[in-house]
Structure 1
């Protein structure tokens, strides 16, 4: 009689876990389908014969893989790829370095007026992106940086800074204060403690911030159109406007070009997604 509860209890626990996990599983599957089906639709449309009108999600009997080569040449992807890489290399490291130092000063060093500074950053985070375009255009025009990658990089660094500081501040809030106190007792100054202790600990947060900044920069469309007149100096997403204008009547080439433009971001995200998840779990399990 006494052994019956012990035999049935694991079964009841497994049944309870299944009931609890079922809604989450359904939600994950729905989110996956919501994300994957549009990509599959674009890929299937890109493999149709040129000049045809793709109908729904259907894999062609004879996939036209050369459509990607034609779209690559017509959209001048080689030049745009190099331009996007230069812009990313100018924006992502700067955002990561400046935001990490700013968050370190706010949380660890507790600089004077730090709360006011952070409040101003939050205000900048809530401003609509479109509101900043005209002031940015005028400022870069006065500085002589219009139609240049340098001006576009400066604008992107500034626009990414509020979120980047907020992201890194959330990380530094989870770091025990005893680490900084121990470093001070060992004779390490703020800069040395930052370089040898806090930056290594911030690896997952920095990797995820770099990923998010890369996605934001690579997919930047509006600023690249407004601030840069030369299509060869824009990001790959910024050049999509000219590609659409030239080849919008050929939906097959348009889809092929769009897949080529999205491919680098998908590849980078798949490579670095574990760092992004690690940063989220690190913040969730602290304390």
Structure 2
């Protein structure tokens, strides 16, 4: 069954098999959008698609490592072929680091975190932009982090990657605002998801960060983050561009 509600946009959501991505995919679909559910986890992506379809919505899964160009190409091609274009891109997929301080970060940890958290959003934005430019409109929403606003919320690799997401967001906003494309980001604080942090016992990074974690406040539900994402992608935010929106119960204000 295909929903033809007030919002029939074509939306790509990455990291959509769980957590904030799942909540965003469900929220867009509930408004009538057609959703590409992109994730590394095929079972999780299929489950979210089934959940959307059971509610009367339209979705299709695409699985693979979004830091690989071939997977990115497949995600965009699926949206174009199945739904006629790309109206919204939600770059949500990401991974945590080990809270490692710079002296403790391995090459593998650094390169993987940067690749998934920063390079993948760049690749996806570059891939969808020709379609948005041809249509003369589009919205990109990136998931940054509280760690994109400060140095005390995560390890070196994650912090650098999310600061990079902020820079990417602002560059896109400036470069393409006159072509009808808006780019914004949410900066989630503590959020109830399945993401865990593999902290190495006795490492300096986690010990150095521990004194600052008391400012986190109430953890958000994934649906609260998704509501902000859907808003930034909506016409209600038509003059909002280049914004990094903390969704963190005031953590950024402390």
TM-score range, shorter chain: under 0.3
Q: When the two structures are superposed, what TM-score results if normalisation uses the length of structure 2?
A: 0.25
Give the structure with the larger strand fraction.
Answer: 2
Higher helix share: 1
By relative contact order (CA 8 Å, sep 6+), the higher-ranking structure is 1
Q: Which has the larger radius of gyration?
A: 1
